[in-house]
Structure 1
Amino acid sequence: MSEKIDRRIVKSQKAIREAFLDALLEKGFENITVKDITEQADLSRKTFYLHYIDKYDLLDKIMDEHLKQLREICEQKKDKGLVEGTIIWFAYFEKHKAFFTSLFQSANTVSFRHRLLHFVMGEIDKKLSESSLNQQIDRQIAVKFLGTAVMGVLESYVLEEISGDMQQVAKQVGEMISTHLSYGF
């Protein structure tokens, strides 16, 4: 019996998330309502509220999934060089470009930007060795500097404010990070 319930839960959550993503692309985050989502998913509002508190909670859960996948990518690319790893990472954003474009364009998704920046900074911090820092450069400032630089380029790429294909942009970002890590600022 519990297997049947689990399948229904998975099916409902999948329908809600797909409806949310469709609405996100069509209307933008600010204009989405729970009613829009449930109508598109052909589910009751009660079903929505069994799984999520509101649209912000739903967005947080979807972001959790993306961050989990990005962590897995970071683990898989450990053996690759920084430039090649950056290309793999940018490819993920290319694959999910419509979703990330909608979020970067939204004024009400500050928590999304903050969580993504925190994630990027954490990955940079892992790569930043003590010996690569100039004695006069604070580690926290170096991580914040590189993290916000990567986020700025990533956001500009996703929003198509930067020309160039994904591999070209990612390669340049990877090379710049590598240069800063190698020369210790």
Structure 2
Amino acid sequence: MLDRRVRKTKESIKHAYFSLLAEKPFKDITINQITEKADINRGTFYLHYLDKFDLRDQLEDEVMRELEEALQDRKYPQVDVNLEQHSTQLIEIILQVIINHKEFFNVTLINQDAGLPQKFSRIIRSYVQSNIDLPEQLNIVPIEYYFAFIVNAQTGLIKEWVKNGMQESKENIAKYAFTLAYNGPLKLMHQHLKEQQH
């Protein structure tokens, strides 16, 4: 009974916090505003969190743990055997975590107009590096720029999907992400222009 009450209280705090984030920047949110919206007293809040920064960090860590566990639990085909299947499965795992934490990503990506949390990107990069022996650069591109381009491009696609209410399936979004990453936006546009000329 106590565990259920604690869970219910923490859920109320979380929803109140996300509701406030949809209205104003993090720096303008106060503990009083959170507790008032959650309909609890300050003492109850401090039973679970040190301050609003601890609340933010705990909610973010919850998402990161789920992502790490999901990546570890899934068996992927080898990259060099089936690149498309490996990539789309990886993207689907990431999208499922975002679906599971829709409220979190709505406020961070849309209302707060931020990118994916740095920890989120670091976990994905760490996973990729542990499965693929990457050189310091690919062709003429240093690996840091390669990752920066991929991460920011995929974040833009995910952000658009979240902004549109996640209406399309994660499978479709994963296909879009792979197609854009594999073929490149300029190559896709060039192919389209060539087809129009014939």
Same fold flag (TM > 0.5):
yes
Matched, 1:103 2:108: yes
Amino acid at match of 1:22: H
CA distance in 2, matches of 1:121, 1:131: 14
Aligned pairs, number: 172
Change in CA separation of 1:141 and 1:108 when aligned onto 2, cut-off 3 Å: closer
Quote the RMSD (CA, aligned, Å).
3.4
Residue number among 151, 170, 174 corresponding to 2:174 in the alignment = 170
Matched, 1:19 2:16: no
| Alignment gaps of 5+ in structure 1 | 181-185
CA distance in 2, matches of 1:109, 1:20: 22
Matched, 1:33 2:30: yes
Residue number among 90, 97, 110 corresponding to 1:92 in the alignment = 97
Matched, 1:56 2:53: yes
Deviations 1:110-136 (A, max 9, x none): 7x6333333333334334432695343
| Alignment gaps of 5+ in structure 2 | 78-85, 185-198
Give the corresponding residue for 1:150: 154
CA distance in 1, matches of 2:111, 2:57: 15
For the Cα contact (< 8 Å) 2:92–2:171, is it kept in 1? yes
Matches within 5 A, 1:135-146: 135-146=139-150
Greater RCO, CA 8 A, separation 6+: 1
Matched, 1:76 2:73: yes
TM-aligned CA deviation for residue 67 of structure 1: 0.5
CA distance in 2, matches of 1:137, 1:121: 17
Change in CA separation of 1:51 and 1:23 when aligned onto 2, cut-off 3 Å: closer
CA distance in 2, matches of 1:71, 1:119: 7
Higher helix share: 1
For the Cα contact (< 8 Å) 2:63–2:97, is it kept in 1? no
Larger Rg: 2
| 161-170 or 84-93, which deviates more | 161-170
Q: Does the residue aligned with 1:129 lie in a helix, a strand or coil?
A: coil
Change in CA separation of 1:11 and 1:161 when aligned onto 2, cut-off 3 Å: closer
For the Cα contact (< 8 Å) 1:16–1:37, is it kept in 2? no
For the Cα contact (< 8 Å) 2:20–2:34, is it kept in 1? no
CA distance in 1, matches of 2:125, 2:157: 14
Give the corresponding residue for 2:129: 125
Give the corresponding residue for 1:114: 118
TM superposition score normalised by structure 2: 0.67
